[in-house]
Chain A
Amino acid sequence: MCNSNYSDIKSNYSDTKSNYSDTKELTAPDKKIVQVLQEEFPLCEEPYKILAERAGMSEDEFLARVNDFVREKKIRKLGAVLQHRTAGFKSNALCAWNVPQEKLSEIAAIMSAHCAVSHCYDRNPAPNWNYNLYTMIHAKTREECDGIIAELSKLTGITNYQVLYSKKEWKKTAMKYFSES
């Protein structure tokens, strides 16, 4: 089914918390840890020594807390993201699907299993926009991207959808947490 080299090494499934009050506010030292971790990772023998110093705590304390964050799923991943272009993916589309609500999980699972799909979220539809499932699709060319979308439509039987090709990337950044003024 997947003839591109975009392959699904690991994917995460998670419920999105809908209310702000669903999560306890972080303590000041924890916020500090988040602030230092979200900067570029130091490329040296003992990176955590440097990060711990910036956070004003010992390396052992810092490492223990980072491990807690991983366990508590505050940290999704600690590693690298490649440039899409490095891997040769030049065509990216957001595809919005109109899926019967009772079949949402089943269809989302089929779409998520496809290696060209990097993100798959449900979303509440809007009055003039009746789409409730969203996938990001990556391919080498627009033709390949169109082919993948047609394949997903055939696999799921969902024929009501909108393909939203990007015309211009205005912003793509990692969030700077706890830095709002």
Chain B
Amino acid sequence: MEYFDFLQLIAKILLVVGVCLGVVPVMVWFERRGAAWMQGRVGPNRVGPFGLLQPLADVVKFIMKEDFTPKNANKFYYYLAPLMALIAPLCALSVIPFGSKAIVNGQEIVLQIAQMDSGVIFILAFAGLEVYPIILAGWASKNKYSVLGALRGSSQIVSYEISMGLALLSMLIVYGSFNPHDMVSWQASKYWGVVVNPFGALVFLISIFAETNRLPFDLPEGESEIVAGYHLEYGAMKFALFFMAEYIAMIMASALISTLFFGGYSLLPGMSQLISMISSHFGFGEVGMTNVTAVFQFVSLCSKVGFFMFLFVWIRWTLPRFRFDQLMDLGWKILFPLSLINLVVVTLMVYFLNK
């Protein structure tokens, strides 16, 4: 591998990981302020302007707390679980493109960490690995509530993976490619995936709520029933890792649904005029134009991801938690058959439209 290739790979990884970890404290703040806003409360407003330094105070609290380990816990797996929780969604992010290409030093850089021909299927692979930290954390803590939470979490994730996979499959048939760049250019040249397959988008949205264990599907944590579920025995920074993992999984899911259904990094309306205005004002050549476009594509993807993060918070404070049998009924008896029917409909649609 050449020096330049290596350097650009490291730069892309640092950008993605940096943005993700940087968004977490903002989301923590926004989650609390959003909750307060929706419930007509004030929310955190004492630490810094608008309570913006609240995440910092949280971090200090997490670090200063006693870092206890339960006596009967299986130590190795107990410490392994939070690490795995953080790694799986970060790996999945490596396939999501955050721009078409940039040109640095005369060399073209594809703005995607891993360019592999299996593309989005790779994301599913890592979404499947998100089950392990939950099972491990619940089992290694040697606590019955943790085990209950782990069982709930893993059965929920495994069940909703099916409808998620079917919704993804219907979009793969529409785009005819695994490659996320192809998907985005298809959507940029025609219409967003959500217009073609709105039902698939809905099923996918519901499934990612279940996959990321967010309300109304946060049964693995269900405070009122099983205390805190699989991370009950985790304190201090170990709990903070689970907390961060949840937000990173949310970012990953939002980026995935934006890429599949909402045009990914394709420019929002009005942006192309802005780009031509900027480049004519500063007199950019073709290279500068490409780079400015890349920046705007990144902004476009980020704004879409931001909207979905807002949606996650919005729904969390709007809908109450499901009961476990309702959750399973929704997954197996409603979403699964409906997404199968949707798959058939989309297949027929694609066949007759392309004929």
Q: Are the chains A and B members of one assembly?
A: no
